[in-house]
Structure 1
Amino acid sequence: MTYQSIALLFLMISTNICFAQEATTKVDFSSDKWKTFGAVEVKEFDSKLSTCILDGTGIAYLDGIDFQNGIIECDLYSPSPKAYLGIVFRVGSLYNFEYIYFQPHTSGKWDAVQYDPIFNRSATWQLYNGKEHQAAANIPTKKWFHVKIEVADDLAKVYLDYNPKPVLSVKLKHEYITGAVGVCSYHPAIFANLKITKHAPVSILQTRPLPTLDDKTYISNWLVSEPYDNFDFAIEKAFLKEAFITKWHQIGAEENYLINLNRYFTKSASKNTVLAKTMLISEKAQTKTLHFGYSDKIKIYLNSKELFKGDNRFNDTGKYDDRGYVLDQHKSIELPLLKGKNDLIIEVAEDKFGWGFIAKLEDLEGIEIRNLKQ
């Protein structure tokens, strides 16, 4: 086979991958393929056969749909002012899936639309905030509104009420897996007219590409311990208790230099805290500023001396500063570095909604960040 023939064959295959499309499926809400969890009921509402989440938390997904890329459309209705109603997709299990939801109680504000990937059973909206993951929009109460989500590999675009302009374009955080499609809400919600159109993959990649991390002042590689129980920081200097920490993992930052601990660990009441450590090599004794953001609680040590203790948990006041977001350069402290090796250790504890941190040095003049090995 000639080079030209090989190139033509590859082009034909690539074209089929990019443009192949299956027919739209109008979902039967009474199908026995639905898997439901929590307060979920199928009934007629407003002359429409609907999936209703009556109270508390509920999720329902259509098993066996094997959705990776394509279009999801649905009509949503919130009977009460406060709700977090939305669409779940690429549901491999109830532990890990993509979730985009809508908040009528913050209609018009910065977080009326929220991308919230679920990692190891944990919501992560405190980690994924800002214009890349949230959007202002008008989300009504006691009125139907239409949602369309277009998914292509690591990109999802969200459209409201047939507006051709997306209200949110978000880079997805999970692997490019196939999985179920469904609905979910915290507080009462009603869903009708669910339609699913499956597209073939845009690319043949099935895993997230490694991020490009150009700014070397961010500490993007850490040695992180297995989780243990120390949410109230009752155990002082856990890193000095060798028998207490069973295992260490090398964990790298994401494209925004975030360390998402929920990606690697399942938080529980008895396993809610980790240690993260790295080493700073300084050419001389000097002071450098460390900028950081975190959730929910943190202690920072340098050479076994505690330098900072903070609490950034969610408080339900409606104020931006009380949301518990992990923000780049949210806080700053001075690091009194010794000449030679300096052990930087961060202890991070989690309650809910996102477990992680970002850390950055003011500059690298006279400093080397040395990655530690397991």
Structure 2
Amino acid sequence: MDPFVWSLWENTEPFDLGDSGARPGAWRDQKALFLSKINTPVFLRKPVPFTHYRLQAEVAIPEQVGFVGLVFGARDSQNYELVYLAPEEIQYDPIMNGCMTWQIYNGPRYQKPYSYQTGEWLKLTVEVHPEGAVVYAGEDACPQLVITSLQHGGLPGKIGFWGYLPVYIRNLSLEEIPSHSFPQVDAKASTPGDFITDWMMSEPYTPSDQPARINNWQHVRVEENGTLNINRLYKAGQGTAVQAKSSLTFDADTEATLSIGFSDHLRIWINEEEIYQGEWRWSPPASDGRIRSNHASFPVRWQAGVNTIRAELTNREFFGWGLCVRSESF
């Protein structure tokens, strides 16, 4: 079957432009579609008729800061898979409840340094399969990124494209391709054993109404990278908080190092004694807000028997909302 091709500077009728503000434009003598809003997806109206397919487009970032990407596996306008080009990297950034999650999904599984010359046209390609996706840039036959675990489950869905700040895109194509084998990933097995993996999480609340909401809890397991992903459950809202609690049992008193990573604002209690409070968010060049388990570490003494750990996480921005905690015995 011949590929579907959309120039995008015209014939945009098959796409739901919504409130994206997308409009025809031109960059470096090439006609294209121009997007300039923040976190703006555009979806093909009809679902993809293939299970295995190649999604490809020519993209350009005209200024020093901008992000442009391809969307696939969209369940709805708030939940979809996204791979985008940035001036210094290629990033897998699954959108969850309308929020970007690159602060949660960071490191070599999800991002790859890439030296892109801003202003240049570049071909961005994503080969999509139920088990994962392979990302190419330009004419390089070697993949830039191999995603072995799609966070929305690899289910069929709509495709499209995405922009954040001024970007251009043209000649979007969709083509069926043969299947591809990926290594099997066991999310539980891939999480290091010293992470706290099982939590009880409250519903979102604002600090002023905490007593009325704190009784509603549900069991949540961390992601494959050890992070408790709040975006997967709840829509982020500035000033909104959740609490998470867990317990650890020891046969005897145990000296350990507790290491944490989080975004955006955290308070944490051990056996109901507050031991840490801090903020970590996007504030370049001082901080990028990415959740890393070695962000802060301190000694703890676990008591013989059951110990509790409780955290309050408050959302400040829309790039990832979560927590990871490791306990390493001496």
Residue 300 (structure 2) pairs with residue 335 (structure 1): yes
Cα 1:229–1:361, aligned 2, differ >3 Å: closer, same or farther? same
The Cα shift of 1:286 comes to 3.8
Cα 1:56–1:248, aligned 2, differ >3 Å: closer, same or farther? closer
8 Å CA contact 1:148, 1:159 repeated in 2 = yes
- Residues 56-65 or 344-353, more deviating: 56-65
Structure 2 Cα separation of the partners of residues 114 and 63 of structure 1 = 25
Q: Percent identity?
A: 25
The Cα shift of 1:137 comes to 1.6
8 Å CA contact 2:72, 2:80 repeated in 1 = yes
8 Å CA contact 2:7, 2:32 repeated in 1 = no
Cα 1:68–1:329, aligned 2, differ >3 Å: closer, same or farther? farther
Q: 2:255 is paired with a residue of what secondary structure?
A: strand
Cα 1:164–1:212, aligned 2, differ >3 Å: closer, same or farther? same
Letter of the 1:71 counterpart: R
Q: Equivalent of 2:323, from 357, 361, 369?
A: 357
Q: 2:160 is paired with a residue of what secondary structure?
A: strand
Instruction: Please tell me the root mean square deviation across aligned C-alpha atoms, in Å.
Output: 2.5
The Cα shift of 1:247 comes to 1.3
8 Å CA contact 1:314, 1:323 repeated in 2 = yes
Could you say which residue in structure 1 is the equivalent of 2:213?
Answer: 244
Q: 1:38 is paired with a residue of what secondary structure?
A: coil
Could you say which residue in structure 2 is the equivalent of 1:369?
Answer: none
Q: Equivalent of 2:5, from 17, 26, 33?
A: 26
Q: 2:45 is paired with a residue of what secondary structure?
A: strand
Cα 1:340–1:55, aligned 2, differ >3 Å: closer, same or farther? closer
Could you say which residue in structure 2 is the equivalent of 1:83?
Answer: 66
Greater share of residues in helix? 1
Residue 160 (structure 2) pairs with residue 179 (structure 1): no
The Cα shift of 1:336 comes to 3.0
Could you say which residue in structure 2 is the equivalent of 1:99?
Answer: 82
Structure 2 Cα separation of the partners of residues 200 and 93 of structure 1 = 26
Structure 2 Cα separation of the partners of residues 54 and 280 of structure 1 = 48
Could you say which residue in structure 2 is the equivalent of 1:41?
Answer: 23
Could you say which residue in structure 2 is the equivalent of 1:289?
Answer: 257
Based on CA coordinates, which of the two structures has the bigger radius of gyration?
Answer: 1
Residue 22 (structure 2) pairs with residue 53 (structure 1): no
Structure 2 Cα separation of the partners of residues 55 and 268 of structure 1 = 19
Could you say which residue in structure 2 is the equivalent of 1:277?
Answer: 245
8 Å CA contact 2:236, 2:315 repeated in 1 = yes
Q: 2:282 is paired with a residue of what secondary structure?
A: coil
TM-score (ref. length: structure 1): 0.78
Structure 1 Cα separation of the partners of residues 107 and 113 of structure 2 = 11
8 Å CA contact 1:273, 1:350 repeated in 2 = yes
The Cα shift of 1:127 comes to 0.7
The Cα shift of 1:176 comes to 1.6
How many residue pairs get matched? 321
Q: Name structure 1 gaps, 5 residues minimum.
A: 1-21, 107-111, 366-374
Structure 1 Cα separation of the partners of residues 176 and 188 of structure 2 = 28
Structure 2 Cα separation of the partners of residues 328 and 165 of structure 1 = 31
Cα 1:165–1:202, aligned 2, differ >3 Å: closer, same or farther? closer
Residue 326 (structure 2) pairs with residue 344 (structure 1): no
The Cα shift of 1:338 comes to 2.9
8 Å CA contact 1:68, 1:90 repeated in 2 = no
Structure 2 Cα separation of the partners of residues 159 and 103 of structure 1 = 14
Matches within 5 A, 1:76-225: 76-104=59-87, 106=88, 112-171=89-148, 172-199=150-177, 211-213=188-190, 215-225=192-202
Cα 1:260–1:68, aligned 2, differ >3 Å: closer, same or farther? farther
TM-score (ref. length: structure 2): 0.88
